[in-house]
Structure 1
């Protein structure tokens, strides 16, 4: 006879496994479709650029080369081929793991992205942590003190940050702390004239501090405003009113009743802001002459380095998509209602 006592348990376990596998496959399919869309859109933008790649590559020596040399460069890069053929050749190399060769840095695109991203990773990680911690802390205070002077000041400051361009804020901070007060270096990731491998941790942090703080201003304002709203809703809820009726104080209410409910949306927003963080790094690295991936993107755009630009576009899409998925998972872990809603779908 069949043992039917374990059948309900097996039936309950099986959908969970299949559901997890289906969710993973669904996310991978979405990522693949996203990469295809990004590749097609980026390649189309490169074709529509008014800047000639050969002119950008030669630069000031454009008058020194003849038509034959110019034709040889164009032929070597495949610029004379039809757009569909060029895209197909590039895509076939990408599927084999070859993103091409960067003529701006005279290196494979994968090596350029790997090296520059490691430099930018410290900058973006510090800025990301600063924006999350400062934004969540200020939003928590503003939500608890809603309607009071502290709330008005924090909210006004958040709106000012949201409307201030990163480039302009970076120039102001550079003038104030580097030029006038001379507390921070003017540029670069390491002291000028020194080899990067010989620079100590304190010197690196000294050069990193002001660019990271400038970049963190991009993400502080949204976290403040969303956290303030989430805290305000939680403070006005019935379970907080019931806890107050039982004599629980404000500090305990915030820690036990409000903090976790506000942390979920803040984490989701923080992870979803990685795209804005990367976009802000382009401006911050340009202002402070920081040699990271943002500076490499600017150099590739000015030099019409198509393989490097396309490689950075794909890498950025994967980076941002991964951040969004991590934020979604953490949000579901902090807020079980999200998991139940997704399961019901």
Structure 2
């Protein structure tokens, strides 16, 4: 008779879920701090390397009338004649204390300028983000399910074409067609020109929002369509879908039960990870449509050497994009439990 080994096999050590999430948050927080420091140094270095004269950018066309005394006063007031390292360290000390400084162009605290302009851009970005996510996922689902047919070919061609189209070109094209030629959309601004604040209705704001949102969302649709299509194709080729078909599942029931969840994971992750592209596209779209949002403030700060405002926008954008990527990772983990918190399966 063979002896039976009755010794207990030690159980595999498992890391508690709360500890894993805590380690994940701590690691991401440290990464954010390092990223903010790198962005601040890079943005400040680029501004200092700019050939634009800060006094000329601040005063504008009246710079020719400035005397040496007036120029010296402006340089002393805004610290234009201080060494770059001194300016950066002084700004960094204020940031650590929670003060982003004052905007040179708008003559307001940077926090107030960002808050006011971001609220205007937020409606535009939410509308564009929702349109690109819904349309991109729906079209990617159709293209993947009808792989090889005319629906797939048309949607794939359209996605590849839009993926290579610049945002400003799409915005200009839409502006010419719908605002200039057809005259069904306003040419510019977020509200009717000359209207008082209490006279502006919700319809007025939506009417001015539709065209910039469509221009911003059209380009963002393309990657979601292509990645969703690939996820659907892989799901259709899997064994569990083949087994479901053998059991008689067809059409929408097969998509809803076997494909939808697998296909929505990459679409959700891409949607949240596209916050950076969304903000970058909004800068171009707001310039084309003269939309008074944070993108237009970024362009103004760069052209007029408003270093405090540009650095504040750079830090705010970094946090905004970082949160988007973080939400994308977390939602991807919740939708697909096979994905770890580090992104590995």
Q: TM-score range by the shorter chain?
A: over 0.9
Q: Which residue in the other structure is 1:236 paired with?
A: 237
CA distance in 2, matches of 1:330, 1:158: 25
Shift of residue 83, structure 1, vs aligned partner: 1.6
Contact 1:218/1:277 (CA < 8 Å) preserved in 2? no
Shift of residue 32, structure 1, vs aligned partner: 0.5
Q: Which residue in the other structure is 1:283 paired with?
A: 284
CA distance in 2, matches of 1:220, 1:295: 23
**What is the 5 A alignment of 1:156-195?**
156-195=157-196
Shift of residue 237, structure 1, vs aligned partner: 0.6
Are positions 1:33 and 2:44 aligned together? no
Count of aligned pairs between the two proteins: 334
**What is the 5 A alignment of 1:1-345?**
15-339=16-340
TM-score, length-scaled by structure 1: 0.94
Deviations 1:148-196 (A, max 9, x none): 1110000000111111111111111111111111111111100110123
Contact 1:136/1:266 (CA < 8 Å) preserved in 2? yes
Contact 2:121/2:295 (CA < 8 Å) preserved in 1? yes
Shift of residue 85, structure 1, vs aligned partner: 1.4
Shift of residue 16, structure 1, vs aligned partner: 2.8
CA distance in 1, matches of 2:299, 2:184: 28
CA distance in 1, matches of 2:65, 2:136: 54
Shift of residue 94, structure 1, vs aligned partner: 0.4
CA distance in 2, matches of 1:20, 1:170: 42
Q: In structure 1, the residue corresponding to 2:338 is in which secondary structure?
A: helix
Shift of residue 340, structure 1, vs aligned partner: 7.6
Shift of residue 250, structure 1, vs aligned partner: 2.4
CA distance in 1, matches of 2:100, 2:343: 37
Shift of residue 109, structure 1, vs aligned partner: 0.3
Deviations 1:33-69 (A, max 9, x none): 1100000100110110111111101110011001121
Shift of residue 22, structure 1, vs aligned partner: 1.6
CA distance in 2, matches of 1:340, 1:242: 31
CA distance in 1, matches of 2:344, 2:282: 37
Shift of residue 251, structure 1, vs aligned partner: 1.4
User: Can you give the 5+ residue segments of structure 2 that lack an aligned partner in the other structure?
Assistant: 1-10
Deviations 1:68-92 (A, max 9, x none): 2112211221222222111110000
Shift of residue 302, structure 1, vs aligned partner: 1.2
CA distance in 2, matches of 1:216, 1:103: 32
TM-score, length-scaled by structure 2: 0.94
User: Can you give the 5+ residue segments of structure 1 that lack an aligned partner in the other structure?
Assistant: 1-7
Deviations 1:281-327 (A, max 9, x none): 01100111100001111111111100000000000000000000001
Contact 1:215/1:277 (CA < 8 Å) preserved in 2? yes
Over 3 Å counting, the alpha-carbon distance change for 1:197 and 1:33 in structure 2 is farther
Q: In structure 2, the residue corresponding to 1:193 is in which secondary structure?
A: coil
Contact 2:139/2:225 (CA < 8 Å) preserved in 1? yes
Q: In structure 1, the residue corresponding to 2:92 is in which secondary structure?
A: helix
Contact 2:24/2:341 (CA < 8 Å) preserved in 1? no
Q: Give the alignment's Cα RMSD to 1 decimal.
A: 1.5
Contact 1:101/1:107 (CA < 8 Å) preserved in 2? yes
Q: In structure 2, the residue corresponding to 1:191 is in which secondary structure?
A: coil
